[in-house]
Structure 1
Amino acid sequence: MKRRLLDIYDALLLDLDGTVYRGNEAVPGAAEAVKAARENGTAVRFVTNNASRSPEDVAEHLTDMGIPAKPIEVSTSAQAAGTVLKDRLRAGAEVLVVGTRSLADIVEAAGLTPVDEFSETVSGVVQGLSKDVGWRDLAEAALAIRNGALWVACNMDATLPTERGELPGNGALVAALRAATSQEPVVAGKPARPLMDEAINSAGARNPLVVGDRLDTDIAGAVTAEVDALLVLSGVTTAAELLAAPAWLRPRYVAADIGSVRTPPAELEIAPQRGWEVERTSELAVSVRAAGSGHRGDEFALLRALCAVHRPIDGGDVFVRAEDDTTRDALRALGIAKTAVP
């Protein structure tokens, strides 16, 4: 039996939104992938930038979707933000909370005092996603930040994937305060190290694998933490965006969804692929043809082959010339439309 991807890593650090689930719907194959990891003795940690729910709520949400989880297996950006605040402020210091009740509870558990209005005694501001945040909350935070309070953002996710589509995330609200204060927050969540380090330490992992759907958070977070990553195309990042990404932001593996952790790693790695011939014809163009008879037209294998050839240092689009109908169909399935050299 061939070794699976989950067999060569001692922990899976799984993003949630767009990777394990979308809103209230589990991604197909997610439950089976998590079950396989546990049966294999591979540690599982659900690592999320979403700061609106407590670990208990996240675990309950996962369990309700058929993915049994315990609070101890959940690492959130809110927890990481609490650790940052605890490390930088004196015990009992007042922290203005822009977020949910669960974020305030984490601040309190860190030995600090959560408040919701500005005063001269406020030493910190912590900002996490809440669907109830309004102008008043941002105004109080702006006053505190302008007064010199330590500003910690749980994450900088501009959008939040849901079953209805992408909605404004915490990063969109952080941007409002940046515009109002001309200040920059300390970031706790991915791609910054605090959340990644907390998850790795919690799992006791020496060789973890990050699995996520976003280049700018999950994959960049893996790069920051110097660990391998699997990008899944079940959430935010598209095939075209991956192909245009700079070489340093490329994951080691790419696949359709989280179910691929049960696949041999050689079949998922960004590298030349059997069945696809990719040739660079200029700095900005490649030609592709399906090779061999009975070709299945695996579009994800094509994407891996394209990424292996096109590795721009600073990022940038490439024009792909399809030499046959099989290739054109695969590119269309990937949503890669640049199929003619300008």
Structure 2
Amino acid sequence: MTDQAGPSALPALAAGCAQPPTRRYDVALLDLDGVVYVGPDAVPGVPAALAGARAEGMRLGFVTNNAARTPEQVAAHLTELQVPAGPGDVITSSQAAATVVAELLGAGARVLPVGGPGVAAALEAAGLTVVVRAEDGPEAVVQGYGREVGWTQLAEAVVAVRNGARHVATNTDATIPSPRGPLPGNGAMVAVVRQVTGQEPLVTGKPDPAMHAECVRRTGAEHPLVVGDRLDTDIEGARRAGAASLLVFSGVTDPATLVAAGPDHRPDLLAADASGILHPHPAVTVDGPTWRCGGWTVRQAEGGDALELRGPDSHPAGTASSGSDDLDGLRALCVAHWAAHPGEGAPVRVLAHGAAATASAQAWGLPSGGAR
């Protein structure tokens, strides 16, 4: 599945994508929360962008760590948001967990679900026996996200795990995006069971490559592109599956977190939202000590560990890249910083030169030594 871009000596982000990703990749494997929608509503412009991608021949698959709903419910929600989808287009972390448990324990094994209706439905579809109490003797507890999960379900899970049931978590995302900001995700609830029982759960959702691999199998993808908003699930999951990745900023990850990311969490492409699949992505070039992207430059500051950032207003007129999406400076910063720290994540300090660089560094939440 590997279709990574760029020379091996440079971070993959350096190569960009000279043509729209819809022409380079045959299938987009899209995360949902924070990518296609936030809460009940679509990310503005994304349904139209996905329709445009389909019109250009790109196929879509939807891969979500949210275990609360069934594939039928997810597909219905997508269709309501003008993103037509069927249940077969959706892979949930509940399905991945059910498959793993069935392989471990065999058909008919007794399992206690904790989470939304999607968890129990996936277990039943996999031929497992769903029980509702710890006293029913479950061999495993499968815990996924559910808005109604509370003390009662967590208590049953704790008792069952303490009695010997295998604790399986569909995912450990600490938060989920919402119109009100990040809210507790399944990982927060999994931590409760882990802390009380002292048992580490088996985690089956992203970044485990099984979910993306199943979606690739269903779609017949040869050159898939994973589109996600989380570094530790979507981007790491893409890397582990051997697929290229596009990070979007419509969900939980912010630019400052991205720049400081370690090797497994570094995407191939960046965009404000999923409409980035429709547009070319500029390359980052190196000229001696200077990294360039469009009208932006980055270079190591003299006598320190900071990076100097200069925007288009520091260059002659007409040097900014055409079709800029306001992320060219961030691309240059990421590539320069990652090239200096190829094997580990590290914080960055920016010295901003000029109005454009100063405003962008502030908007990206990057620590700065101030405008020069």
Instruction: Normalising by structure 2, report the TM-score.
Output: 0.86
Relative to structure 1, the CA distance from residue 137 to residue 325 in structure 2 (aligned partners, 3 Å threshold; closer, same or farther) is same
CA distance in 2, matches of 1:44, 1:63: 13
- Are the aligned partners of 1:80 and 1:154 in contact in 2 as well (CA < 8 Å)? yes
What number of residue pairs does the alignment pair up?
Answer: 340
Aligned to 2:12: none
**Residues 222-267 of structure 1: per-residue CA shift (max 9 Å, x gap):** 1111211000011100001001112332101111110010012446
1:319 matched to 2:335? The reply is: no
Q: Which residue of 1 aligns with 2:358?
A: 328
Amino acid at match of 1:318: V
Cα separation, 2, equivalents of 1:284 and 1:213: 29
Code of the aligned partner of 2:135: S
Amino acid aligned to 1:335: G
Residue 295 of structure 1: CA displacement?
6.2
Cα separation, 2, equivalents of 1:56 and 1:268: 42
- Any conservation in 1 of the 2:22–2:57 contact (CA below 8 Å)? no
Counterpart residue type for residue 21 of structure 1: Y
Report the Cα offset of residue 29 of structure 1: 2.1
More displaced stretch, 163-172 vs 139-148: 139-148
- Does structure 2 retain, via aligned residues, the 8 Å contact 1:125–1:152? yes
Matches within 5 A, 1:30-41: 30-41=46-57
User: In the alignment, which of 294, 300, 308 is matched to residue 274 of structure 1?
Assistant: 294
Identity of aligned residues (%): 46
Separation in 1, partners of 2:213, 2:177: 24
Which residue, out of 44, 52, 58, partners 2:68? 52
1:181 pairs with 2:197: yes
Q: Deviations over 1:14-46 (max 9, x none)?
A: 011111111122112211221122222222011
Which structure ranks higher in relative contact order (CA pairs < 8 Å, sequence separation ≥ 6)? 2
CA contact (8 A) 1:23 1:163 kept: yes
Structure 1 position 305 matched with structure 2 position 332: yes
Cα 1:98/1:34, change in 2 over 3 Å? same
The 8 Å contact of residues 289 and 322 in structure 1, kept in 2 or not, is answered as yes
Bigger mean CA offset, 168-177 vs 81-90: 81-90
After superposition, where does 1:218-237 map in structure 2 within 5 Å? 218-237=234-253
> What is the alpha-carbon distance in structure 2 between the residues aligned to residue 216 and residue 192 of structure 1?
10
Instruction: Give the AA of the match of 1:276.
Output: W
* 4+ long deviations beyond 4 Å: 267-271, 294-298
Distance in 2 (CA, whole Å) between partners of 1:283 and 1:34 is 44
Q: Contact 1:155 / 1:189 at 8 angstroms: preserved in 2?
A: yes
Moved more, 281-290 or 119-128: 281-290
User: Which residue of structure 2 lines up, in the alignment, with residue 70 of structure 1?
Assistant: 86
| Map of 2:316 onto structure 1 | 292
> Which 10-residue stretch deviates more, 232-241 or 26-35?
26-35
How big is the alpha-carbon RMSD for the aligned residues of Structure 1 and Structure 2?
Answer: 2.1
1:268 and 1:155, CA in 2 relative to 1: closer, same or farther beyond 3 A?
farther
Which whole-Å CA distance do the structure 2 matches of 1:339 and 1:72 have between them? 51
Q: Which residue type is aligned with residue 305 of structure 2?
A: L
